[in-house]
Amino acid sequence: MSTIGFIYPDHAAEDDYPLAERLLGGDVRLPVAHIYGTDLHAVAELLDLGSPARLTEGAGLLARHEPDAVVWACTSGSFVYGWDGATQQVAGLSEAAGGLPASSTSFAFVRAANALGLRRVAVAASYPDDVAALFAEFLGKGGIDVVSMSAADIDTAAEVGRLDPEAVVDLVAGRDHPDAEALLVPDTAMRTLALLDRIEERLGKPVLTANQVTVWEGLRLAGASRAVPGLGTLFRTGA
């Protein structure tokens, strides 16, 4: 039995994790610990949300589950620190978790794209422009070229979490670009796991979403990667 612990900010789309657990089968547990701060998509607030004190609190909450790895399940609360700062953030999380392997959603996007051999992507972000631009910069540091960036200018994670499935599909699929090899959808507040195959079929290319890559990264860290249907190209390949 592999156990991957996720630190999730506030409440929005955390039900993607039990859905992933069901799809992955009975030998994986994906417990979620919640930390709380403002859910505003603004730089100062996101820096506070991903602070060492908050992640240390989350690691403590996960300890009772005895995880094999821990992941900070927040894209904006990691890339807002920049590449070097996000690296330090993950190192601090690992230390707070007793030396366990650790990562964040931002690094999960880069590693998932690399696993699929992707170099040119479009981004469908829920954030305001200034925050979305920081994600594009982070991807660039990871060797990924953003050929198109769309920002939906949604102010809070709670608003994103209230989007119905049709609104999510329209928001995501309408922001593809013909030069992109894949479409990336940051924001773990957006429910996407149940929609992945549908969106990929519509676009005809891989789609990487925040909760999807976060789960994939946790499995990678725990040495529990596997191929499974229903979670998009990334999981069908077993990369």
Token representation of residue 73: 């399940």
Q: Does residue 78 share a domain with residue 8?
A: yes
pLDDT of residue 26: 81
pLDDT of residue 237: 74
Composition of the chain by helix, strand, coil, percent to 5: 50, 20, 35
Q: Does residue 176 share a domain with residue 146?
A: yes
Digit-by-digit pLDDT tens for the chain (239 residues) are: 899 999 999 888 899 999 999 999 888 999 999 998 776 677 888 888 899 999 999 999 999 999 999 999 999 999 999 999 999 999 999 999 999 999 999 999 999 999 999 999 999 988 888 988 999 999 999 999 999 988 777 766 667 767 778 888 888 888 899 999 999 999 898 899 999 999 999 999 999 999 999 999 999 999 999 899 999 999 987 66
DSSP helix/strand/coil, 124: strand
Q: Does residue 104 share a domain with residue 7?
A: yes
What's 197's domain CATH number?
Answer: 3.40.50.12500
Q: Does residue 163 share a domain with residue 79?
A: no
Q: Does residue 181 share a domain with residue 159?
A: yes
Q: Does residue 8 share a domain with residue 74?
A: yes
Q: Does residue 166 share a domain with residue 54?
A: no
Q: Does residue 226 share a domain with residue 174?
A: no
Q: Does residue 127 share a domain with residue 67?
A: no
* Tally of domains within the chain: 2
Query: How far is Cα 36 from Cα 11, in angstroms, rounded to an integer?
Result: 9
> What's this model's pTM, rounded to 2 decimal places?
0.95
Q: Give the count of beta carbons closer than 10 Å to the beta carbon of residue 203.
A: 16
Residue 32's contacts (CB-CB under 8 Å, 6 or more residues apart) are 5, 6, 7, 8, 14, 17, 73
Q: Does residue 104 share a domain with residue 219?
A: yes
Q: Does residue 167 share a domain with residue 137?
A: yes
Q: Does residue 158 share a domain with residue 134?
A: yes
For 126, the domain range is 117-208
pLDDT of residue 168: 84
